[in-house]
Amino acid sequence: MAEILRGKKVAILATDGFEQVELTEPRKALDQSGATTEVVSLKSGEIKGWKFKEWGDMVKVDKTLDQARVQDYDALLLPGGVINPDHLRMEPKAVQFVKDFVATGRPVAAICHGPWTLVEAGVVKGKTMTSWPSIKTDLKNAGVNWVDKEVVTDGQFITSRKPEDIPAFSTTLIGAIGSSKEKAA
């Protein structure tokens, strides 16, 4: 699997309070597959992870939303955690970035509470998705057919429920990027 994503670039949209393993583990899998990953955030510097029940490690921000351009990326990754997507969905620039990215037709992967930002962007009606169980009603209210599965793919969207799903989530995302006909500019 070493270099199947060489030349591909993935934006990881996150802010303080992202569930640490939901950013670091898919990122590691993408990097090992040859992709270039960039953390895109609301602020420059570093953002702080959430490690299950306490604060985790800092992660370097590669670009702010003001610097990132949707057309530069082949895929978008939305890690979960409760705090991270709740803050992102309240930030108009983050919601617009997600809307604009979805419009490209390229792969969008969201895990745990990550789909909250997709709901706010208004891009999930009629899709089949999964998530952390506590946001099931939010997704259903947004017009999603919610299912309880390890990983769900519906068109460009890839969703998973929780950290235990990360291996299947990462493998599915890598496969979707590798087979995507859309190319970043």
Active site residue 40: no
The radius of gyration computed from the CA coordinates of the chain, to the nearest angstrom, equals 15
The backbone torsions φ and ψ at residue 78, rounded to the nearest 5 degrees and listed phi first, read -120, 95
Active-site choice (30, 77, 112, 152): 112
> Of the residues 113, 136, 161, 162, which is catalytic?
113
In degrees, rounded to 5, the angle at the alpha carbon of residue 111 between the alpha carbons of residues 119 and 141 is 30
Report d(CA 74, CA 40) in Å as an integer: 14
70 is catalytic: no
List residues bridging with 117 in a β-sheet.
Answer: none
Give CA angle at 27 (100, 5), nearest 5°: 75
DSSP 28-96: HHHHHTT-EEEEEESSSSEEEEEETTEEEEEEE--EETTT--GGG-SEEEE---SHHHHHHTT-HHHHH
> Are 8 and 75 spatial neighbours (Cβ–Cβ below 8 Å)?
yes
Q: State the catalytic residues.
A: 112-113
